[in-house]
Amino acid sequence: MFESLAPRRTDRSLLAISPNRWDWALLPLVLSVLVAVGFGAMQMARPFVVGEATPISLDPSNLPYYLLRTILRMFIALGCALLFSFVFAAIAAKYRAAEKVMIPTLDILQSVPILGFQAIAIAPFIAFFPGSLLGVECAAIFAIFSSQAWNMAFSLYQSIRTVPSELNEAARVFRLSGWQRFWRLELPFAMPGLLWNMMMSMSGGWFFLVAAEAISVANQDIKLPGIGAYIAVAIEEKNLHAILWAIGAMLAGIVLYDQLFFRPLLAWADKFRFEESQGETEQRSWLLNWGRRSRWMRAGTDRMWALLRSTLGWFSVSYDGTAPRASARAINPVWMRVWNVLLLVAACLAVYRLGIFVHSEVGWAEVGHVLWLGVITLTRVLLLIALASLVWVPIAVWIGLRPKYSQRVQGLAQFLAAFPVNLMFPLVVYLLLTMQLNPNIWLSPLMVFGTQWYILFNVVAGASTIPNELRLASDNLGLKGWLKWKRVYLPAVFPSYVTGAITASGGSWNASIVAEYVTWGKTTLIADGLGSYIKQMTDAGDFHRIALGIGVMCIFVMLLNRFFWRKLYLLAEDRSR
């Protein structure tokens, strides 16, 4: 096997393979993608000095170029988010001491607005790449990464924690090491849900694209060529025609990467479903079918997988004890107590420093006011998540159990999840002013407009992995109606639902900054809440109150996750086993 992986022999064998018609069909597509990626990468590293004008044209002929730059940034961010998820989920799921710190930290990161990440990252990246646009590009990619990574990490963590007991027992029988266990059991088991969350992450990147590509630094506005900057300029100029062109470009981009990337991945990952019979759940992809019929593609992928197996240790194991044992070891209870004490001391120190900050900079009356605004936003979040769950859980289960409809809905769901709420501002302002509606009530749906899809995508992923044997057994037992939902469908998708609800909740807090403070031209509508408070303080440049608002938001999100979502998470983990 090792001789077959030698570079020279591989090259000769690939060149010796004669191409067929599918190779010639794929060749232009592959070359076009490579040329586009290379051209976009070259443009990302062109010379740039802070203060230099970065004009964005609203001419629709520029949209293909802007779309290329945007999609390239989003896929780079997606790759970084995937690596982050691998590391985070593997450590948090296997080490109890690390989990106590990492999960609350992820709660905090999920609740910090994207503007906060961008404000921290922009100056260091520009300083690290002086005289080059690459620094600003890295800051934009980091901002997009911060809108993609958290739900992917939560999904993979949840999947690792809920691996069925019989699969865990098989891993122990085969004596898989921790490394082999991750690559051969945990990641394949998590693959369907992870892929759906990757699609949701791409859509989440579109949702916050305006903030990522229209950057303010050193009293200068930097707009990177992309769809987000195009939308920002269109909103500033109140150009409805440009907004419609941007919506069309978004739809074209989503369809493009859905057909060329996500659809083939979902069809390929269908083999990781936890069941013995395929049933009627097979995903299909024309591109994957072409690749499987192509001689060059099959030869290239065979060698790639052989290389990965040798590099990552994907070797076969036997019962004779030659494979290494799992590397996990129990932690000494004394060290766990020491670790808990250190965490308590750190928390007390943080509270002490927070008290000094409040007393000296903003005052306790301001804290009480901000806490009340947090309660208002919390009420909105819980009501909206509950309503979204009642609507989308039944629909998502129905879609997940019917792959032919799942593939039809997939592109539409990605487009709706990617639709930036900023594009709805003209309609929202017009309706609220014309009908004299209360902003405190009717601006609220904007908070969940882009985050409700986390519930849809995760429940679809959970429903699509329900074993066909379980569905057939329920039919044989005569389960129908509500009883079938109560005994089969809802328990099966509950872990996936909790993951989606947690990320939807965190995303709704983040989206409140946009949803509670709506501007179109010179017209501004404001709803009482923590999001509008942070937005107003940001516009006023009041750093201390910005920090107070973000800090209070993090506290609310942590408490909600700890005492509500975390309880549901543990219940889901217990029921899944």
Residue (of 365, 422, 389, 378) closest to 531 by Cα position? 378
Contacts 24+ apart (CB under 8 A), 311-315: 312/179, 312/183, 313/177, 313/179, 313/180, 313/183, 314/180, 314/183, 314/184, 315/180
Task: Record the tokens describing residue 191, joined without a space.
Answer: 């693959």
β partners of residue 517: 526
Higher pLDDT, 330 or 518: 518
What mean pLDDT comes out for the span 113-135?
Answer: 76
State residue 58 phi and psi, 5-degree precision: -90, 10
User: Contacts by 254-257 with C-beta closer than 8 Å and gap 24+?
Assistant: 254/203, 254/206, 254/411, 254/414, 254/415, 254/418, 255/411, 256/71, 257/71, 257/75, 257/202
Is the pLDDT score of 285 beyond 70?
yes
| Cβ contact 80:145 at 8 Å | yes
pLDDT at 289 over 50: yes
Count Cβ atoms within 10 A of the Cβ of residue 132 and give its class: 0-12 exposed, 13-18 middle, 19 or more buried: middle
Model pLDDT, residue 182: 86
- Whole-angstrom distance, CA of residue 549 vs CA of residue 315: 52
pLDDT of residue 1: 38
> What would the two tokens of residue 374 be?
């947090």
Mean pLDDT of 367-385: 89
Contact 493, 464 (CB under 8 A): no
Residue 52 in tokens: 């230099």
Q: Which helix (H) or strand (E) holds 217?
A: strand 214-217
Could you tell me what percent of the chain has a pLDDT over 70? 81
Domain boundary assignment for the chain: 10-44+285-315, 45-273+353-576
Distance, in Å, from the CA atom of 93 to the CA atom of 73, rounded to the nearest integer, reads 30
Say how many C-beta atoms besides its own lie within 10 A of residue 30's C-beta. 13
pLDDT score at 70: 92
Task: Map residue 329 onto helix, strand or coil.
Answer: coil
pLDDT of amino acid 8: 43
For the ranges 73-87, 338-352, 362-376, 382-396, which has the lowest average pLDDT? 338-352
pLDDT beyond 80 at 440: yes
Q: What is the 3-state secondary structure (H, E, C) of 21-41?
A: HHHHHHHHHHHHHHHHHHHHH
Lowest mean pLDDT among 41-45, 382-386, 391-395, 521-525: 521-525
CB 565 within 8 A of CB 502: yes
How much is the pLDDT for 115?
63
pLDDT digits (tens, 9 = 90+) for 426-439: 777 778 878 888 88
SS3 523: strand
Q: Please say if the pLDDT value at position 85 is more than 70.
A: yes
Average pLDDT for 411-422: 70
Whole-prediction pTM: 0.74
Residues 39, 40, 41, 45, CA torsion sign? positive
In the predicted model, is pLDDT for residue 411 greater than 70?
Answer: no
pLDDT at 279 over 70: no
Least Cα distance to 152 among 114, 201, 192, 109 occurs for 201
| Whether the predicted pLDDT of 80 surpasses 90 | yes
**Mean of pLDDT values over 472-483:** 79
Dist CA 499 CA 349 (whole Å): 31
Give rounded-to-5 percent helix, strand, coil for the chain: 80, 5, 20
Q: Are the CB atoms for 188 and 398 separated by under 8 Å?
A: no
What confidence category does residue 2 fall into, taking pLDDT thresholds of 50, 70 and 90?
very low
Residue 399 has pLDDT above 50, yes or no: yes
Amino acid residing at 557: V
pLDDT over threshold 60, residue 383: yes
Q: For 162-214, how does the pLDDT look when each residue is reduced to its tens digit (9 = 90+)?
A: 787 788 888 888 888 778 888 888 888 888 878 878 887 887 778 777 778 87
Percent share of the chain, pLDDT over 90: 7
Compare 373 and 20 and report the one with higher pLDDT.
Answer: 373
Q: Are strands 214-217 and 220-223 parallel, antiparallel or unpaired?
A: antiparallel
| CA distances for 305 relative to 12, 300, 313, 315, 521, angstroms | 18, 9, 11, 12, 54
Instruction: Kindly report the average pLDDT of the chain as a whole number.
Output: 78
Using the predicted structure, report yes or no on whether residue 324 has a pLDDT greater than 50. no
Does the pLDDT of residue 299 top 70, yes or no?
yes
Flag whether pLDDT at 4 surpasses 50: no
Which phi and psi (to 5°) does residue 436 adopt?
A: 55, 50
**Burial degree of 11 (CB within 10 A; 0-12, 13-18, 19+):** exposed
Angle at 346 between CA 344 and CA 352, to 5 degrees: 105
**What pLDDT, on the 0 to 100 scale, is given for residue 342?**
75
**Confidence label for 322 from pLDDT (cuts 50, 70 and 90):** very low
Residue 293 burial by Cβ neighbours in a 10 Å radius (0-12, 13-18, 19+) = middle
Q: Which tokens go with 575?
A: 């029921």
- How far apart CA 472 and CA 488 sit, in angstroms, is 11
Q: pLDDT at position 507, please?
A: 78
Q: How far apart are CA 558 and CA 573, in angstroms?
A: 20
Nearest CA to 212 out of 121, 128, 131, 126 is that of 121
* Residues 286, 292, 295, 300, CA torsion sign: positive
Residue 81 confidence (pLDDT) = 93
- Residue 359 scores a pLDDT above 80: no
Cα→Cα distances 69→82, 141, 227, 260, 268, Å:
20, 11, 8, 17, 28
Of 1.10.3720.10, 1.10.340.70, 3.40.50.720, 3.40.50.10860, which CATH number belongs to 45-273+353-576? 1.10.3720.10
d(CA 281, CA 461): 12
Can you tell me the mean pLDDT for 374-380? 90
pLDDT score, position 353? 73
Three-class secondary structure of residue 566 per DSSP: helix
Across residues 16-36, what is the average pLDDT?
A: 80
Distances (CA, A) of 389 to 85, 162, 261: 25, 22, 29
Q: What is the pLDDT of residue 534?
A: 83
Residue 78 has pLDDT above 90, yes or no: yes
Q: Which residues pair with 525 in a beta bridge?
A: 518
Over residues 357-365, the mean pLDDT reads 71
For residue 259, pLDDT over 80 is answered with yes
Q: Are 184 and 264 in contact (CB under 8 A)?
A: no
pLDDT per residue as tens digits for the range 201-257: 887 778 777 778 877 655 567 888 899 889 888 877 878 888 889 888 988 888 888
DSSP state of 218: T
